[in-house]
């Protein structure tokens, strides 16, 4: 009689334990779900697409030293000594090369001897003139005889003047056999050795100044009207992401001798130009008054997955939403979006490495 109540109490007790365990499991899942839903948001910056950007022209060229010269000889002569090598720093007036000038030395000695002879003749003629003047005053000679001796003195003086001019020319010519640096800089090429025969057709040395650099580019007929002296421009170095400020200094007015291309030079004004070297590849960019129309976003907002390109936009729930897009040309810091984005959407421009689809964002 008392077995049934005992069994029922046992069943009730077991059932109560099961209900308690089930409730505890649900509570844990609810807390875990709540914890998941309360994952911290990611701080981001937003930008709105731009529908117009200034058109930029870009042309490839090379960096050159603002001061550069090829050092040549005026005539053929053997090299007696070379005092520099490639890479040497030189100061204005430093002796670089000495050429053989034996012929000029002989000519100089000949002219100096001629001057000595003329000086002796001049002294004698001067004394004769003085003597003739005394005789003329005593009416011992005629006026014609006095005039003849005075003409002879003038002739000797002219001979001396001619000889002095010849000596000056020889001394001036001898300067070209002592090759000196026309300005301070660095030797970038050395093409002769001691004993070589130098000639005007071959540059013996290449000297480049370190005071500044410029870039030279070739511009087509269609775009040359956009370049004016004094315009600001930007130089992009191909070997790095460096951008250097520049100013247009020369715009060629003719393309007759350059194959239809106009030469444009720009002086690099950035203080970083001390890290430049002549011959570096670079490009010159210039903003124009013309506008590109379309949808543009900062190029650093684009993410890449193999051949796919996309960006994160903001959903209505303030979460990150990955959107695959088709991109067009890059214009300065912007990239054109051809499809996949509308102008009124907000694009996430920072914090992309922490983002994934559906994550909460703060801005």
d(C-alpha 262, C-alpha 253), whole Å: 7
Mean pLDDT, residues 36-64: 83
pLDDT digits (tens, 9 = 90+) for 298-307: 988 999 988 8
Query: Environment class of residue 73 by beta-carbon count within 10 Å: exposed (0-12), middle (13-18) or buried (19+)?
Result: buried
For the segment 157-179, the average pLDDT, to the nearest whole number, is 90
Mean pLDDT over each residue of the chain, to the nearest integer: 85
Q: At 14, list the tokens.
A: 């077991």
As a whole number, mean pLDDT of residues 18-23 equals: 50
The tens digit of pLDDT for each residue in 254-296 reads 888 888 899 999 999 886 666 788 888 999 999 887 787 899 9
What is the per-residue pLDDT for 257?
Answer: 83
| H or E element at residue 348 | strand 347-348
Highest mean pLDDT out of 54-58, 172-176, 239-243, 309-313? 309-313
Where residue 39 falls among pLDDT bands split at 50, 70, 90?
Answer: low
Lowest mean pLDDT among 13-27, 41-55, 326-340: 13-27
CA–CA dist 95, 208 (Å, integer): 16
Mean pLDDT of 198-227: 90
Question: Beta-carbon neighbour count of residue 227 at 10 Å?
Answer: 22
């Amino acid at each position: 009689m008392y077995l049934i109540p005992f069994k029922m109490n046992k069943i009730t007790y077991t059932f109560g334990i099961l209900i308690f365990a089930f409730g505890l499991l649900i509570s844990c899942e609810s807390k875990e779900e709540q914890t998941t839903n309360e994952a911290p948001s990611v701080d981001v910056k937003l930008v709105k697409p731009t529908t117009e950007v200034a058109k930029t022209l870009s042309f490839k060229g090379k960096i050159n030293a603002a001061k550069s010269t090829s050092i040549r000889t005026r005539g053929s002569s053997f090299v007696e000594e070379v005092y520099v090598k490639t890479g040497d720093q030189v100061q204005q007036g430093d002796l670089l090369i000495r050429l053989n000038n034996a012929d000029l030395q002989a000519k100089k000695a000949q002219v100096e001897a001629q001057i000595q002879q003329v000086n002796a003749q001049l002294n004698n003629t001067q004394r004769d003139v003085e003597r003739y003047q005394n005789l003329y005053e005593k009416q011992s000679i005629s006026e014609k005889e006095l005039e003849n001796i005075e003409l002879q003195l003038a002739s000797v003086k002219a001979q001396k003047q001619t000889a002095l001019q010849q000596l000056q020319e020889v001394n001036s010519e001898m300067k070209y056999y002592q090759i000196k640096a026309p300005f301070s800089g660095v030797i970038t090429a050395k093409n002769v050795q001691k004993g070589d025969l130098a000639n005007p057709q071959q540059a013996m040395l290449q000297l480049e100044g370190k005071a500044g650099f410029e870039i030279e580019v070739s511009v087509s007929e269609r775009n040359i009207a956009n370049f004016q002296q004094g315009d600001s421009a930007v130089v992009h170095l191909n070997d790095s992401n460096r951008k250097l400020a520049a100013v247009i200094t020369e715009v060629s007015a003719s393309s007759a001798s350059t194959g239809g291309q106009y030469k444009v030079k720009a002086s690099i004004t950035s203080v970083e130009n001390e890290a430049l070297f002549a011959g570096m590849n670079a490009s010159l960019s210039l903003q124009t008054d013309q506008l590109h129309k379309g949808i543009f976003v900062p190029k650093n907002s684009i993410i890449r997955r193999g051949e796919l390109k996309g960006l994160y936009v903001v959903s209505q729930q303030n979460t990150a939403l990955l959107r695959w897009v088709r991109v067009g040309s890059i214009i300065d810091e912007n990239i054109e979006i051809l499809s996949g984005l509308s102008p009124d959407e907000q694009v996430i421009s920072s914090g992309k490495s922490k983002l994934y689809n559906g994550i909460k964002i703060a801005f």
